[in-house]
Amino acid sequence: MTETKSPVLEAIREKFGEDVIEAGIFRGDEFVVVKRERVIDLLRFLKEDPGMSFEFLMDVTAVDWLGRKTPRFEVVYHLYSFSKNRRLRVKTPVPEEDPRVESATPLWKGANWFEREVYDMFGITFDGHPDLRRILLYDSFVGHPLRKDYPHDKRQPTVPTDEFPDPEKNVRVYIDEWKKRGE
Amino acid sequence: MAVDDALNQLGNQVFLTRFDRILAWARKYSLWPLPFGTACCAIEFMAVVGTHYDISRYGWEVVRFSPRQADLLIVAGTVNYKIAPALKKVYEQMLEPKWVIAMGACATSGGFYNNYSVVQGIDRFIPVDVYVPGCPPKPEALIDGIMMIKEMIETGAKRKRDILEEMKKR
């Protein structure tokens, strides 16, 4: 798994040394796990170094490893190089007690909405983000639904439902009405 | 009697009916639907409006995107908690008389989405008259659903809205 034939990974190892937690190739996909403090430095290097030239940030997302890994969260960046036609996955562990990462918005404007989504779903904050608020869910929503400890059956209604009977009763009343019509 | 004489003179040029029946006759052939399309069901709705299935054959083709001009709300697609207040407002803005169709599995029951964001059926917050099953329903199924609305109008059947009002009084 930790095969190191890739020139990209070699260059990263050489430049970041101890800060690279893990680097390797998994089923043909190169990945780097780097310390949280250096992740923006690494991304800047990958974007701006002529040998790397990963111009395009495809996605920023996160993983919740609740009960399976410490630290709990992992923020994942997917990079793509148009000029060299290759991809790279950069991951960084984020602890539960201090869920924050430096924002990648100074490097890519496109990181803005990705990071807002990660904030919305996982509650990880991005330092230096220009407008960090929920992007998909409504403002009154409490909690972060893609965290593994968010109750799977928890609902946060936005409209009153009091005057409507429960669905089963609802349908039964209605079937009776239709039957009456047929008589 | 003067009226009888007049009727005799007119012969079979006139017929008598009840006012509400003639009103229902007019209404049932001029439904103005408002499509609240949020997912693939809306694509199926487009097929129904398009030339092949062509609901204008029944006089229902005046699709309005203002609730104030519509009398049939067709909710086509998944409704989540974020958009639910908007849907409720749209329903409330429609003028009486108004009918509601829940088109497809999602609008009917949440479909296969049972998670933090999806309302488990629009009948949790607005009254639904006809449920059209399918994922998405075939165009024929939607036409059948609107046919049921037509039948409701011509027979003067109670809408879910009316039933709820009655239940509240009880």
Asked whether the beta carbons of residue A173 and residue B120 sit closer than 8 angstroms, the reply is no
Domain annotation covers residue A71:
yes
Domain annotation covers residue A112:
yes
Asked whether the beta carbons of residue B84 and residue A157 sit closer than 8 angstroms, the reply is yes
Asked whether the beta carbons of residue A150 and residue B167 sit closer than 8 angstroms, the reply is no
Residues of chain A with Cβ-Cβ distance to B116 below 8 Å are: 145, 150, 152, 154-156
Whole-model pTM: value is 0.83
Whole-number pLDDT of residue A115: 94
pLDDT band at residue B88 using 50, 70 and 90 as cut-offs: very high
Instruction: Give how many domains chain A has, as a whole number.
Output: 1
Mean pLDDT of B7-11: 74
Nearest CA in chain B to A180: B157
Domain annotation covers residue A170:
no
Residues of chain B with Cβ-Cβ distance to A137 below 8 Å are: 82, 117
Domain annotation covers residue A51:
yes
Mean pLDDT of A160-182: 65
Whether residue B128 is predicted with pLDDT greater than 60 in this model: the reply is yes
Domain annotation covers residue A167:
no
| Window 85-144 of A, Cβ < 8 Å to B | 136-138
d(CA B11, CA B5): 10
Nearest CA in chain B to A160: B125
Whether residue B104 is predicted with pLDDT greater than 60 in this model: the reply is yes
- A162 at the B interface (CB within 8 A)? no
What phi and psi, each to the nearest 5 degrees, are found at residue A3? -70, 145
Distances in Å between the alpha carbon of B103 and those of A71, A115, A182, B110, B132?
45, 35, 23, 11, 5
What phi and psi, each to the nearest 5 degrees, are found at residue A47? -80, -45
As a whole number, the mean pLDDT across chain B is 89
pLDDT band at residue B74 using 50, 70 and 90 as cut-offs: very high
Domain annotation covers residue A177:
no
d(CA B34, CA B46): 12
Domain annotation covers residue A165:
no
- Token readout for A107 is 């490097």
Residues of chain B with Cβ-Cβ distance to A159 below 8 Å are: 81, 84-85, 88, 124-125
Domain annotation covers residue A87:
yes
- pLDDT tens column, A57-113: 999 999 999 989 889 999 999 999 999 999 999 999 999 999 999 999 999 999 999
The CA distance from B10 to the nearest CA of chain A, in Å, is: 37
Question: Which range of residues forms the domain containing residue A64?
Answer: 7-153
Poorest-pLDDT segment among A8-12, A161-165, B35-39, B106-110: A161-165
The CA distance from A90 to the nearest CA of chain B, in Å, is: 29
The CA distance from B167 to the nearest CA of chain A, in Å, is: 10
pLDDT band at residue A181 using 50, 70 and 90 as cut-offs: low
CATH number, residue A129: 3.30.460.80
d(CA B48, CA B137): 11
